[in-house]
Amino acid sequence: MAEAESIIGTPDIPEAEGDEGTEPEQSDGAGASDGQAADSAAAEDGEAAVDRSPATRRRRIILLFCVAVLAYLLDLGSKMLVVAKLEHQEPIEIFGSWLRLDAIRNAGAAFGIGEAFTIIFTIIAATVIVVIARLARKLYSLPWAIALGLLLGGALGNLTDRIFRAPGVMEGAVVDFIAPAHFAVFNLADSSIVCGGILIVILSFKGLDPDGTVHKD
């Protein structure tokens, strides 16, 4: 009898194994489609997701001030060297007449613009520094940290001249010395401000805010 049952039951074994084998295939298929949907949703959310942890904001602020300090020290050091070695001397030609080092005192804004409004430009520079400090509290974007650092370093560089150089406090003349042909004379602080401004324009066109939010309009 046992032999008969074993003989009769043997054909059912492959079907049982087949049934057991098909169940994981169905669950795998369902899991795959669920996983694809989850991945798709995560991808969509990931485009707008921003890491706003305190650690991220702290790193961005540190980067901002590192860029600002580097830009400021390069500007300050170059001006000290120019005043000590180049002022009241003949211009130094770097690439013939195309690029020279020529120390001048500029009472206006960047590139010698608006020399009659020295105090106004001093106030503007101070205002820029305050605005950057306020933006830093909500800063989570790496490119914005670099851009604001360049602006801050450049603004501090020229503001230092406004405050401490002749003819007086808030009316000091900025030291300019980079003199390209057929262009205004400028300094490293001006270059830092312009580069930071260009980067901000690019980031704005891309829809990236300082807090890391990306607009998809």
Outline where DSSP puts E strands in 150-214.
Answer: 174-180
User: Annotated catalytic residue: which of 12, 51, 176, 211?
Assistant: 176
Answer whether 212's CB lies under 8 Å from 139's CB: no
The tokens for 76 are 């300050």
User: Annotated catalytic residue: which of 190, 209, 211, 217?
Assistant: 190
Cα 63 off chain centre by: 9
Instruction: Let me know if 176 is a catalytic residue.
Output: yes
Residue tagged 């060297």 (tokens): 81
From the CB of residue 209, how many other CB atoms can be counted at a distance below 10 Å?
A: 16
Residue tagged 């899991």 (tokens): 31
Instruction: Let me know if 211 is a catalytic residue.
Output: no
Main-chain phi, psi angles of 102, to 5 degrees: -140, 110
Active site residues: 176, 190
